[in-house]
């Protein structure tokens, strides 16, 4: 691929509002590109489901609990958090609804997100939406009769249920485990899960799996325009393998340039308002599926990425960095700053370090605050020494890294941009 085309694709990743949504007569390669990106969330969901179902005792329509906080060995889902314990299941509502019982949670933060196979959050049941008293909810698939307590409609027959329960770790883990055990899910017996291609598969295998996934979990009518344009790849076909290969190559390059899709304001990229419920923003949906699968909607949590040395989200320096935060951030939940090593395929995972510290947040023990309550966080590959050590967030020993700040239950001034985070600066 020549340099001019490469730069054009970088520009597409930076500025395109959707998958060529207004192109009058796209080429077949463009249609293949758009088809690849449209199907990517489905492929990533199926890949994640297959990976998670390999865990001992895991099954469809059965809650599985993670009993420890994520660390550098956690590689099942990109950009994990180190604040909450996860419980999860993949739902199959083909044969009928499932019933979810949420126990009384009191003041402990929790959220139950149910994402359809297109990665939209159909519902978030938790501290923000139903409070700490709990309740029973009926998860109803498309076309099913909405009977049972608190019927909650899910857009596709298959979905991902992801529960987060806040814990400080250590002595709090036993209480957090008890809270997890109070969640109960009852659903119909599910059929075996087919095997699907991954995002790196050859185009014919990729599109065959995309068609199978769309048959299992049909797209909404609002996507019909794109599906008609991409019918050779996502519909009945046929398509030219060489043209498909060109389009898939272009799509993969666009995901490589996904960092260009982010706009940094004052040193941070802020999430779009449609994070977690994407509508027809298919390109943004594909990028999040690759870089942050399972992201909550912004009303629940905001994920802010630091600009880095390149101004596009990547740090490469060996020196020391500093983030100075005010005594309080405008939120009703909690916040944390997470450190990730960046992989070549654009994903992010915690990095091994001598402190076993993957985040710093408002609940981190032993931090040293300034006289006015503000907090200086020191970031680097080596211990900064002295009093700074208490506030050290270790970076990888080598290689690029990225940082995300999570703010749970953000207030209006953070949601609407009246409040902005201070930048990370070189110390």
Give the pLDDT confidence of 351-391 residue by residue, as tens digits: 999 999 999 999 999 999 999 999 999 999 999 999 999 99
Classify residue 271: in a domain, yes or no.
no
User: In terms of domains, do 145 and 221 share one?
Assistant: no
User: In terms of domains, do 59 and 42 share one?
Assistant: no
Tell me the pLDDT tens digit for each residue of 84-98. 999 999 999 999 999
> Cis bond leading into 111, ω under 30°?
no
User: In terms of domains, do 400 and 415 share one?
Assistant: yes
Helix (H) or strand (E) holding 86: strand 84-92
In Å, how far from its chain's centre is CA 141? Answer: 23
Residues 2-36 as b/e (b if ≥16 CB within 10 A, e otherwise) read eeeeeeebbebbbebebbbeeeeebebbbbbbbbb
User: In terms of domains, do 152 and 222 share one?
Assistant: no
Classify residue 123: in a domain, yes or no.
yes
| Structural domain count of the chain | 3
pLDDT band at 26 (very low <50, low <70, confident <90, very high): low
DSSP assignment, residue 62?
A: B
* pLDDT attached to residue 248: 97
User: In terms of domains, do 30 and 93 share one?
Assistant: no
User: In terms of domains, do 64 and 182 share one?
Assistant: yes
Tell me the pLDDT tens digit for each residue of 160-172. 999 999 999 999 9
160, β-bridge pairs? 90, 115
User: Rounded to an integer, what distance in angstroms lies between the CA atom of residue 86 and that of residue 206?
Assistant: 30
Classify residue 293: in a domain, yes or no.
no
Classify residue 268: in a domain, yes or no.
no
Domain of 177, CATH number, reads 2.60.40.1610
* pLDDT attached to residue 13: 43
* pLDDT attached to residue 147: 85
pLDDT band at 258 (very low <50, low <70, confident <90, very high): low
User: In terms of domains, do 245 and 181 share one?
Assistant: no
User: In terms of domains, do 395 and 416 share one?
Assistant: yes
Nearest Cα residue to 351 out of 395, 305, 402, 405: 395
User: In terms of domains, do 30 and 66 share one?
Assistant: no
* pLDDT attached to residue 397: 95
Domain of 355, CATH number, reads 2.60.120.600
User: In terms of domains, do 103 and 15 share one?
Assistant: no
Classify residue 274: in a domain, yes or no.
no
What is the token pair recorded at 249? 């190559």
Domain boundary, last residue among 143, 163, 186: 186
Domain boundary, last residue among 241, 259, 277: 259
pTM: 0.89
User: In terms of domains, do 24 and 62 share one?
Assistant: no
Q: Could you tell me the residue range of the domain that residue 13 belongs to?
A: 3-48+197-259
* pLDDT attached to residue 256: 81
Tell me the pLDDT tens digit for each residue of 297-309. 999 999 999 999 9
Nearest Cα residue to 81 out of 325, 365, 400, 404: 404
The 3-state DSSP class for residue 36 equals: helix
* pLDDT attached to residue 72: 94
User: In terms of domains, do 247 and 367 share one?
Assistant: no
* pLDDT attached to residue 19: 53
CA dihedral over 406, 407, 408, 413, signed as positive or negative:
negative
Domain boundary, last residue among 186, 211, 243: 186
């Amino acid at each position: 691929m020549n340099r001019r085309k490469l730069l054009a694709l970088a520009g597409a990743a930076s500025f395109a509002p959707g998958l060529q949504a207004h192109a009058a007569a796209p080429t077949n390669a463009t249609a293949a590109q758009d088809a690849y990106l449209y199907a990517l969330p489905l492929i990533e969901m199926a890949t994640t489901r297959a990976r998670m179902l390999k865990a001992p005792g895991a099954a469809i329509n059965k809650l599985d609990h993670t009993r420890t906080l994520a660390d550098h060995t956690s590689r099942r889902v990109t950009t994990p958090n180190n604040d909450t314990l996860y419980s999860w299941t993949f739902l199959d509502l083909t044969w009928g609804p499932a019933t979810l019982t949420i126990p009384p949670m009191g003041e402990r933060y929790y959220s139950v997100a149910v994402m359809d196979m297109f990665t939209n959050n159909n519902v978030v049941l938790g501290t923000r939406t139903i409070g700490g008293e709990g309740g029973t909810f009926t998860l109803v698939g498309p076309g099913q009769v909405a009977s049972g307590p608190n019927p909650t409609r899910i857009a596709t027959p298959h979905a991902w249920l992801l529960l987060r329960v806040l814990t400080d770790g250590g002595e709090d883990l036993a209480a957090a485990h008890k809270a997890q055990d109070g969640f109960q899910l009852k659903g119909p017996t599910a059929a075996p899960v087919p095997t699907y291609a991954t995002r790196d598969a050859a185009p014919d295998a990729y599109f065959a799996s995309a068609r199978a996934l769309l048959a299992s979990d049909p797209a909404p009518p609002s996507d019909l325009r794109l599906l008609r344009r991409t019918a050779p790849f996502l519909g009945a076909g046929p398509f030219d393998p060489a043209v498909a290969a060109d389009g898939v190559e272009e799509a993969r390059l666009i995901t490589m340039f996904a960092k260009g899709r982010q706009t940094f304001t004052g040193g941070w990229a802020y999430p779009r308002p449609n994070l977690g419920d994407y509508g027809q923003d298919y390109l943004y949906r594909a990028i999040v599926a690759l870089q942050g699968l399972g992201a909550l909607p912004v009303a629940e949590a905001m994920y802010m990425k630091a600009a880095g040395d390149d101004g596009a989200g990547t740090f490469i320096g060996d020196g020391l960095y500093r983030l100075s935060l005010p005594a309080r951030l405008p939120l009703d939940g909690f916040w944390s700053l997470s450190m990730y090593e960046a992989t070549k395929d654009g994903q992010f995972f915690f990095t091994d370090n001598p402190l076993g510290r993957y985040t710093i947040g408002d609940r981190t023990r032993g931090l040293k605050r300034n006289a006015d309550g503000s907090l200086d966080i020191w970031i680097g590959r080596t211990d900064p020494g002295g009093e700074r050590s208490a506030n050290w967030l270790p970076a990888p020993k080598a290689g690029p890294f990225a940082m995300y700040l999570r703010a749970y239950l953000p207030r209006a001034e953070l949601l609407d941009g009246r409040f902005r985070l201070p930048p990370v600066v070189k110390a």
